[in-house]
A and B are shown apart, each in its own frame.
Chain A
């Protein structure tokens, strides 16, 4: 009994000592600034290193006990983030700063969730933002968010050892070359192994194929006015046939091989006996390769990265949409100026500080400002230079994701999904005609909604 009592007293004393010295048991320093304004930041929880990075940034910022600002980050998982934001807004307690995707930014503006940050950014800071990013955060000539990163959603990953074994000498750049590669690979792969991993289901087939749609058809589902469907463009039929060819030949799995589906599809490429020989994957797959293989150089050396094959074989144009995240200041924030101060501190004041995120991310994301890009160009990364070049090149030609109602984009994804799940039940022409007609009818229904929006970046001339 005495021993237990002594132990309890010792633990209490130790805890008190830690608290008095301002250290938590985890070693994280806590800075307390009396009377400071708390800036609440809602952040999506990604990988642990990304979470640590943001926490460290906030901690570093909070070290200054004279600026009257203390930042508090609250992380939410993919499943809870949107709910948390909705609930906070409903209660009038929206965070001062929050993350959103480029694709969702316009809805945030429409719904008055965020404010323009023009007045908080210096001219130099605005000029420093890369044009491709600036376009994604600008509406009605105002910048509404600071772009944090860019993630091309579709790139091509392959196993060099399997290519060599199958006698594939050239990395496929066109669909025809990809079919040839699949033919050759199917001869050497065993049951349970597949030639290529592609996005599955309408949801993935929608956002992953934005780049492919742009490359093949010269646009996305709707034209610039958001009033006319472009699905009659022959390129959409070609993409559908691409999916039909791959899936009817059993070259791709019809169900996800990994728990997160397309997000971590690259895992299936990284095993010693991989389930996939090639796969489409987002740029984040580069970091995933390092994490999954625990930086096993033998496997990493066996993996190649390239832009996705295109119909014509020309990969210099758009091959991907740029996903990624940006930071907004809430309309409900009462301390927008102080939130902006933290925003500037993170992104516009010190390129070296901002670049650390991209370094820790194994260059799997593209930077959003010229100064950070320049810094990274001079940095000696452990990631192969050709991989980094592919990410930057694909991002530079990437397009923003569609901002018209998601249901409409999804109808195009459903056409491609039809090819995946019905390819064994009928001829391509019949399947495509039915899928196209359904999609067109559904798009018309969606467009007939009484509150169907207009494109803020289109001049309707009235």
Chain B
């Protein structure tokens, strides 16, 4: 009987598709929603990125030419690559380190710490920005008040030196730290104890265990975190918008923020904004394809 099922060539056609109607019926709402709200708008956006906004005439790459010849937009790409590099490294290293701490401490304390760590993940970027603005505001924020109380000149965090970059990166890191730590922690708990025991018998110390056991075993977790962090960082919008507005001198401008401002600028042809969005989408999709290829190859190896 089993051999009959495994032999596809002998499977009756009617049997093969006997559940097709119900399957299509169940898939239909999801497909329909995806079509209406994702794929059709995407197709329309792609078409419009090749058109003149006013006349609808096809101008092909004119809108792309406009957006790549916009200095603030190209600078924003450079900025976001820098931010992504800093956030990814800081997030991965610190989350990995803190996950080890969580694993090592008493279970009850670890539970409490996990909750505390996860709370920022429940806060939206806008709310986090407001919290940081209360602290950093030049006109009367917490730090300004303390500094003036101590007879020290206040710091203009949003404009002075490299502070603006820190103003954008720290809240972004803070928001994602809990989630990434918990993901790493879950990954750590999944490493079989027998591996460590075998390594210990072979004379491996803490660092050798980490390099030869923990890190290889958690490779897929790292890749997952990496994809999330890179994709999230490339789409940074709310925090730079709220705290620095993209300034000073476009130092904290991100492509998403630029396009957001561009959409709200009635002076700018909206098809240029759409062309810019398509460009960002291409970059993010490319990164994701590369990352998924990596995961896929890892699975193949497994």
CA distance A446 to B67 in the complex (A): 10
A200 close to B159 (CB less than 8 A): yes
Stretch from A227-235, A309-317, A448-456 forming part of the interface with B: A448-456
Chain A residue numbers with a CB within 8 Å of B157 are: 255
- In the complex, the answer to whether B69 meets A449 with C-beta atoms within 8 Å is yes
A82 and B265 within 8 A (CB) = yes
Inside 8 A of A192's CB, which chain B residues have their CB? 148, 154
Is there contact, CB below 8 Å, between B71 and A442? yes
A407 to B74, CA, bound (A): 13
Which of B66, B138, B269 contacts A256, CB < 8 Å?
A: B138
Q: Could you say which of A83, A104, A191, A257 contacts B264, with CB atoms under 8 Å apart?
A: A83
Query: For the complex, is B120 an interface residue (Cβ under 8 Å from A)?
Result: no
One of B54, B70, B139, B148 near A255 (C-beta < 8 A): B139
8 closest A-B pairs by beta carbon, nearest first, are A255-B138, A255-B156, A442-B71, A254-B156, A421-B248, A82-B266, A107-B267, A257-B139
Closest residue on chain A to residue B248 by CB atoms: A421
Tell me the minimal C-beta distance from B51 to chain A in angstroms.
12
Q: How many chain A residues have a CB neighbour from B under 8 Å?
A: 46
Interface of A is mostly: helix
Q: Mark B33-67, 1 if CB is under 8 A from A, else 0.
A: 00000000000000000000110000100100110
Asked if B301 is an interface residue, CB under 8 A from chain A, the answer is no
State which of A100, A112, A407 has its C-beta within 8 Å of the C-beta of B70: A407
Query: Which size class do B's interface residues fall under?
Result: 20 to 34
Chain B residues whose CB sits within 8 angstroms of the CB of A418 once the complex forms = 249
A86 within 8 A of B: yes
CB atoms of B159 and A258 under 8 A apart: no
Chain A residues near B159: list those with CB within 8 A.
Answer: 200-201, 254-255, 420-421
Q: Which of B71, B148, B156, B158 contacts A407 (CB 8 A)?
A: B71
Query: Hey, which chain A residues are within 8 Å of B151, CB to CB?
Result: 191
Segment 109-148 of B: residues with Cβ below 8 Å from A: 138-139, 148
Q: Is A145 an interface residue (CB 8 A)?
A: no
Query: A80-94: which residues lie under 8 A (CB-CB) from chain B?
Result: 82-83, 85-86
Docked pose: A192 CA to B156 CA in angstroms: 12
* CB of A459, distance to nearest CB on chain B (Å): 24
State how many angstroms separate the Cβ of B5 from the closest Cβ of chain A: 54
Contact sample, A vs B, 10 pairs, CB 8 Å cutoff: A79-B264, A83-B264, A86-B266, A201-B159, A253-B138, A407-B70, A407-B72, A425-B161, A442-B71, A448-B69
A375 in the interface (beta carbon within 8 A): no
Does residue A417 face the partner (Cβ distance < 8 Å to B)? yes
Interface status of B302 (Cβ within 8 A of chain A): no
Residues of A that sit less than 8 Å from B by CB: 79, 82-83, 85-86, 100, 103-104, 107-108, 110-112, 191-192, 200-203, 250, 253-259, 275, 405-407, 410-411, 414, 417-418, 420-421, 425, 442, 445-446, 448-451
Q: Min CB distance, B264 to chain A, in Å?
A: 5
**A107-B266 contact in complex given A191-B151, A192-B148, C-beta closer than 8 Å:** yes
B190 to chain A, nearest CB (A): 46
B276 contacts the other chain (Cβ, under 8 Å)? no
Q: Does B245 contact A (CB under 8 A)?
A: yes
- How far does the Cβ of A438 sit from chain B's closest Cβ, in whole Å? 8
Contact residues of B between 258 and 276, Cβ < 8 Å to A = 263-267, 269-270
State the Cβ distance, A276 to closest chain B Cβ, in Å.
11
Residue of A whose beta carbon sits closest to that of B63? A451
Residues of chain A lying within 8 A (CB to CB) of residue B160: 254-255, 421
B62, B148, B156, B158: the one within 8 Å of A451 (CB): B62
A425 to chain B, nearest CB (A): 8
CA of A265 to CA of B263, assembled, Å: 27
Nearest neighbor of B52 in chain A, beta-carbon distance: A451
B7 in the interface (beta carbon within 8 A): no
User: Apart from A202-B248, A451-B59, what are 6 other A-B pairs with CB-CB below 8 Å?
Assistant: A82-B264, A82-B266, A111-B269, A201-B247, A202-B249, A417-B249
Say whether A450 contacts B72, CB under 8 Å.
no
Give the nearest-CB partner of B265 in chain A: A82
A253 near B156: Cβ-Cβ < 8 Å:
yes
Complex interface: chain A residues within 8 A of B202 (CB): none
Are B54 and A191 in contact (CB-based, < 8 A)? no
User: Is B66 a contact partner of A111 (Cβ separation < 8 A)?
Assistant: no
Contact with A along B188-220 (1 / 0, CB 8 A): 000000000000000000000000000000000
Question: Do residues A257 and B270 form an inter-chain contact, with CB atoms below 8 A?
Answer: no
A103 to B267, CA, bound (A): 9
B72 partner residues in chain A, CB cutoff 8 A: 407, 410
* Residues in A whose Cβ lies below 8 Å from that of B139: 255-259, 275
